[in-house]
A and B are shown apart, each in its own frame.
Chain A
């Protein structure tokens, strides 16, 4: 497999940039929330912290071409944003304050919903490329 087929090249470069922004934004926000007002909405803030960790690992995995880690974290993100999205609609009391994944990521322009979909498609297209290269011998 040549380096150009790695997950951090081509379109992947831009994807890593977006993931990096979300990793930093989610981490900074989560540290700020937990350090200043952890008691107000423990569940939402705990969830923000979890999301932040997932974004950090996903960024690292995409940037360093670790596909298992990338698939696992991006898959988790997809499930997370869908599950939390449904929960925020069904049970508003669980979330007195916003988290990244509340309302399917509406507070962040739905990027948290679109990002894992693009990420999974990207990993899948990279994988096909590797398989095809393998067939050609």
Chain B
């Protein structure tokens, strides 16, 4: 997994977090635009799961496979879970849940890269 991909996806997650934070601060209800932002990130994360799994099967590096795959799977689960559970709350804090989720994805992405390099245990 290249460093560039890891940071690009982490930045994308931060951008979506910013988009959600804008909704939260302005007290704007969960919008279609935000839905598409999260959906776009989800597509990228599913792509990461697929390419990451393939890369893991081919690498000679000393990567902790179980940890790596569990991070990839967690990342895929977080956005839909956050949207479903967050939207059930009809106040600005519903999008706050999405902010928390997107920040979590960004952190996971950074750690995922660490696991790939063998620097995070």
Q: Interface residues, chain A, CB within 8 Å of chain B?
A: 9-14, 17-18, 21, 24, 28, 32
Contact = CB atoms under 8 A, between A and B. Distances in A.
Contacts of A12: 93
Interface residues of B, number: 16
B104 interface: yes
Given A10-B91, A28-B70, A21 B104 contact: yes
B100 A14 contact: yes
Interface in B57-110: 67, 70, 74, 82, 85-86, 89, 91, 93-94, 96-97, 99-101, 104
A17 B101 contact: yes
B67 A13 contact: no
Contacts of A10: 89, 91, 93
B97 A13 contact: yes
B41 to A, nearest CB: 17
Interface of B: 67, 70, 74, 82, 85-86, 89, 91, 93-94, 96-97, 99-101, 104
Nearest to A35: B66
Contacts of A11: 93, 96
Given A28-B70, A32-B67, A17 B97 contact: yes
27 contacts: A9-B89, A9-B91, A9-B93, A10-B89, A10-B91, A10-B93, A11-B96, A12-B93, A13-B86, A13-B89, A13-B91, A13-B93, A13-B94, A13-B97, A14-B96, A14-B99, A14-B100, A17-B82, A17-B96, A17-B97, A17-B100, A18-B100, A21-B100, A21-B101, A21-B104, A24-B74, A28-B70
B93 A14 contact: yes
Contacts of B99: 14
B97 A14 contact: yes
A92 B74 CA distance: 33
A28 B77 CA distance: 15
Given A13-B96, A14-B99, 8 more contacts: A10-B89, A13-B89, A13-B97, A17-B96, A18-B100, A21-B100, A21-B104, A32-B67
Shortest 3 CB-CB contacts between residues of A and residues of B: A14-B96, A13-B89, A17-B97
B91 A17 contact: no
